[in-house]
Amino acid sequence: MKQNVSLLGVEFDAVTLDQAAQRCVDICRRSNNSHIVMTINASHLCMMRRDAELAHACSAADMTVADGMPVVWAIRASGQHMPERVAGIDLMEGLLRAAASNGLCVYFLGAHQDVVEKLVRVCEARFPQLKIAGFRNGYFGPDEHDVIVDEIRASGAHILFIGLPSPFKEVWSERYRERLQVPVILGVGGSFDVLAGFIKRAPRLFQSLGLEWFWRLMMEPRKLWRRYLSTNSEFIWLALREVVARRAYAVRRESALAGSANAVRRDNRIVVSERRMADRRILVRRRSNVRNPQAPIPDRRRGIERRVSERRARTANAPKGIEVSA
């Protein structure tokens, strides 16, 4: 069953890496229409607050996964379930493996020409059965967009990997999704450079601790320090504010539900008490009627006693030998 969670106005699919990859394979098998898969991290969430086009593109995605442990932690801290992080590069590798085993074709768009060429050679070596429908570098102008879209559509690719920066890749994917006619479109940012061997990925320890951004900062400090400094501080503030608000709402809701339950129990106790008091009054009245002959008795018994008394009086006053009728 599909389960969604939300953070900072963005809905995420609460899926594992394997579940996300399987959904993409299922889409490739049953549909020719384009489906966009977004891998959203803390940087995306901050940029969307200032970029309306990016926000629209992300909200229109068919599947959105949490790419980054800070995003996963924030979702969990707000009381929602997120099974694990689904990084773009991990999802890309999973889809390459699935495409090779299911006979699906892939297309690579992005990075420098030497990077994308090396990526193709690496993928052919790692996945011998993989069908590569085509590839192209990511350096092109607006006047080439139509040509590139037509080329990708004509390739017959089932999966399009876009190795371009944000927000360009998200906006471009949404703008041309109908014309591309590729079942799955996945933006993977700098994953081409990592898989091709030009950039070393962070060790597993850094990934599990949510410090992959710090590793990348050490690899490219001049390029990334300003962006990470501003983005991380902004995300911490925004996420903390939402987590506190969600927690406070949950506490108020639980208090209201507990108050309603207590009121129901109190009303039930009052009803039971009133019933018991009524039963006691009836029992006391019955007992008093038996023990005290002078106590008030029901109307029916009073009528019977009156008729018996009148008959006795007539019998006593009547002459002897004359029978008195009832």
Residue with tokens 């690899």: 219
Name the DSSP letter for residue 196: T
pLDDT of residue 223: 77
Q: Is the dihedral of CA 273, 277, 280, 286 positive or negative?
A: negative
What are the residues facing 64 on neighbouring strands?
38
Low-confidence stretches of the chain (pLDDT < 50) are: 1, 324
pLDDT of residue 281: 64
pLDDT of residue 1: 47
Q: How many CA atoms lie within 13 A of 131 on its CB side?
A: 12
pLDDT of residue 151: 98
- Using CB atoms within 10 Å of the CB of residue 81, give its burial: 0 to 12 exposed, 13 to 18 middle, 19+ buried: exposed
